[in-house]
Amino acid sequence: MTATTANRAGKKKGKHAKGVGSGAPPWTVIALFILPAFLLYTLFMVWPLFQSLYFSFFEFKGLARGGFVGLRNFHELFTRYPLNEQLPRAFLHNVYFFIGTMLIQNTLGLLFARLLYASRFGKRFFQIVYTTPYLISALVVGYLWSLMLNPLFGPVNQVLKAIGMGALARPWLGDPATALPVIILVNAWQWVGFPMLLFSAGLAGIGDDLREAARIDGATSWKLFRYIELPLLLPVIGIVTVLTFIGNFNAFGIVWAMGGVNGEPAGATDVLGLVFYRTAFRGGVDAFGLASALAVLMFIFIFGVSMIMLGRFRRWEEDLT
Amino acid sequence: MSQPTSSSRRIDLANIGANVLLWGYAAIVLAPLLLVISNALRPTREIFKNPVGLPTSPSLDSFVKAWEEANFNVYFFNSLMITVASVILATAVAALAGYMLGRYKFTGSRFLTAYFLAGLMLPFRLAIVPLFLLLNDMGLVDNRLGLILVYAATGIPFSVFILSAFFRQLPQELSEAARIDGAGEFTIFGRIMLPLVRPALATVIVFQFVPLWNDFFFPLVLLRSTDKWTLPVGMTRFFGEFQADWSTLFAGLIITTLPLVIIFLLATKQIIAGLTAGIGK
């Protein structure tokens, strides 16, 4: 009913059928509405981000800002021990984290979404179950699984022994070879519901007539998926990839809970988020300048790669249509 | 509508395979969660004897211990106070801004919309050093109000984005009729428009609440004294102090997560809608 009245009003006036007001209120009223959000957001989010860039060129002595030092902070990041060793290693771990998550978490998410799309009942139930861990704090998830994986009293090793696979039991988080892969799996356990929901929404947005037409032409379900659904899901795949990238390069709580502030064992789980925190708040007297420089590099990298990815995916979509 | 038997059998097999997979993964999700509950209800010595098992005589002792001895009563109320205050503040200012940006076009309105939207993509944790110095200058380090202001700021981009989209869709006659009756902009906003976007408000509130409740980074940096700590920061000390007392550890995990479970049960629809905002139909 509202739609018809809106239509009629639109016809009468000739434009603004969408319901957006034509005559804006006076400036004072606009300001009263906008300013609270604008000030809060600018002062505590946007302004500090810009200041990071500015501070990265200055020397710090504790909380006090000293003189302009050009690119020295940036140089120090790559030359001062132990940062020069920790930084590339942590970066590499973030790259593994991203690749592992794409391969495991997002592939599973797509698989579950596809299976649920086809299934008639239980869809809601599975969606809710799979999404539940997303609600739990990354820190809590990390602590929960570090108890599960405890070498002495952890249920995981216990279950492996009970089903005759005791040879596989090991100190999962104490072994540098398995610690990072295990954290990637636990992170996927927490997040798999998210790509699943996005892919579900994407699949639901593909018209049934398209599927019908393909089926009449004799397409098998695999071909239907590969040649109709997958290409049409590209925009969603793009969003999932970029969000995964941003999320993984910001990983912090889960690694802290499972590997501590230094990414134990022996730095095998160290990631950029931890290095950044340690540089800023457990570093030396000039920590704030170094941390600002690191923040600038991380910002440029994360933001830049996200933009490149988005552009790439957009071009793929255009090629396909 | 009968199909050849061979193909329907294949579909049946595929169907069985799909169900095995879906139920199998559901078990992987639920088993650890159920184990947490079960282990919180039995004493540590029983857990160590048999890590996977049901409590022989369920008791809530570990919850009492976590709540009283491990300071969870303090952490819990800090978390609740800080999260609720931040969400209310952010939602209030975002509703005002979202209304103006959603309903009217004026010089600079497009820029402002883009400006708020940009916040959705900014990795704001990287701004912690200047933020720390700013709050230090304001005397707001180790102060719950400082954390509330930061949290409210981080919630604004998403809330403005969702709310302005909802305000935009409301029919215009409503506000025009009210204006003819002599209502001012604030009356139209508060009495007519705001009640109509209640579903969006629910989404926005839930979506701010969950990450703020769970956040670990900002309280770790901005709060020093343990009597101001929120649950996630308290958790780090708790896991050091009680590492031999697993029953209490499991109880602590549950106490930290319980409010989110309640929210999830109340607002599943909003959560799923918000997660997929902007995709498909």
- What are the sequence ranges of the domains in chain B? 5-61, 71-241
What was the pLDDT predicted at A152?
86
The verdict on a CB contact (< 8 Å) between B172 and A20 is: yes
Shortest distance, CA A85 to any CA of chain B (angstroms)? 21
Cβ pair B268:A38 closer than 8 A: no
CATH code of the domain made up of B71-241: 1.10.3720.10
A197 touches chain B (CB under 8 A): yes
CB within 8 Å: B52 and A159: yes
Taking CB atoms and an 8 Å limit, are B168 and A52 in contact across chains? no
- Asked if residue A2 has pLDDT above 90, the reply is no
Across the interface, do B279 and A51 touch by the CB < 8 Å criterion? no
B140 inside 8 A of chain A by CB: no
User: For residue A170, what are the β-bridge partners?
Assistant: none
Q: Å from A77 to nearest chain B CA? A: 16
Contacting residues of B for A147, CB less than 8 Å apart: 246, 249-250
* pLDDT tens column, A122-148: 888 898 899 889 889 999 999 999 999
Q: Cβ separation of A133 and B18 shorter than 8 Å?
A: no
The whole-number pLDDT of residue A11 equals 38
Assign residue A135 the CATH number of its domain. Answer: 1.10.3720.10
CA-based radius of gyration for chain A? 25
Please report whether residue A16 resides in a domain.
Answer: no
Per-residue H/E/C for chain B: CCCCHHHHHHHHHHHHHHHHHHHHHHHHHHHHHHHHHHHHCCCHHHHHHCCCCCCCCCCCHHHHHHHHCCCHHHHHHHHHHHHHHHHHHHHHHHHHHHHHHHHECCCCHHHHHHHHHHCCCCCHHHHHHHHHHHHHHCCCCCCHHHHHHHHHHHHHHHHHHHHHHHHHHCCHHHHHHHHHCCCCHHHHHHHHHHHHCHHHHHHHHHHHHHHHHHCCHHHHHHCCCHHHCCHHHHHHHHHHHCCCCHHHHHHHHHHHHHHHHHHHHHHHHHHHHHHCCCCCC
Looking at residue A19, its pLDDT comes to 46
User: Could B172 and A21 be called an inter-chain contact, meaning their C-beta atoms sit closer than 8 Å?
Assistant: yes
The token pair at A159 is 């279950």
Q: Structure tokens of A312?
A: 């790439």
**Rounded Cα gap, residues B253 and B235, in angstroms:** 8
Rounded mean pLDDT of chain A? 88
- Is residue A126 in a domain? yes
For residue A239, being part of any structural domain is answered with yes
List, for residues A23-67, the tens digit of each pLDDT value: 788 999 999 999 999 999 999 999 999 999 999 999 999 898 999
Query: Is B130 an interface residue toward A (CB < 8 Å)?
Result: yes
Residue B220 corresponds to which amino acid?
Answer: L
Taking the CA of residue A201 and the nearest CA in chain B, the distance in Å comes to 5
Mean pLDDT of A141-164: 92
> ipTM value of the model?
0.87
8 Å CB contact of A126 and B22:
yes
Q: What gap in Å lies between CA A271 and CA A262, rounded to an integer? A: 9
- Check B32 against A292: CB less than 8 A apart: no
Determine, for residues A29 and B185 on separate chains, whether the beta-carbon distance falls below 8 Å: yes
* Contact residues on chain A for B266, CB-CB shorter than 8 A: none
Cβ A137–B213 below 8 Å, yes or no? yes
Residue with tokens 């999932």: A240
With CA atoms as reference, the chain B residue closest to A205 would be B280
> How much is the pLDDT for B171?
86
Check the CA dihedral B78-B81-B85-B86 and report its sign: positive
Closest CA to B222 of B156, B150, B157, B153: B150
Say if residue A121 is exposed, middle or buried (CB neighbours under 10 Å; 0-12, 13-18, 19+). Answer: exposed
* Percent of chain A clearing pLDDT 70 (strictly above): 93
A128 in reach of chain B (CB within 8 A): yes
- Enclosing domain of residue A105: 82-282
Q: How far apart are CA B62 and CA B55, in angstroms?
A: 13
Q: Helix, strand, or coil here: A35? A: helix
B270, two tokens: 């909003």
Can you tell me the mean pLDDT for A158-164?
89
Omega within 30 of 0 (cis) for the link into A82? yes
- Give CA–CA dist A239/A317, Å, rounded: 13
Whether A183 maps to a domain, the answer reads yes
Q: With a cut of 50, which residues of chain B have pLDDT below it?
A: 1-4, 281
C-beta separation of B18 from A119 below 8 A: yes
The pLDDT value recorded for residue B9 is 64
CB of B24 within 8 Å of a chain A CB? The answer is: no
Rounded to 10°, the helix A193-204/B246-275 angle is: 20
Q: Which of A2, A33, A41 sits opposite B116 (nearest CB)?
A: A41
For chain A, say whether B13 makes contact (Cβ under 8 Å): no
A290-318 residue pLDDT tens: 999 999 999 999 999 999 999 999 888 88
Q: Chain A: residue nearest B29 by CA?
A: A130
In a domain, A73, yes or no: no
Q: Taking residues A193-219, report their average pLDDT.
A: 88
**Predicted local distance difference test score (pLDDT) of residue B8:** 62
The count of structural domains within chain A is 1
Q: Which residue of B172, B188, B229 to mutate against A (max A Cβ within 10 Å)?
A: B172
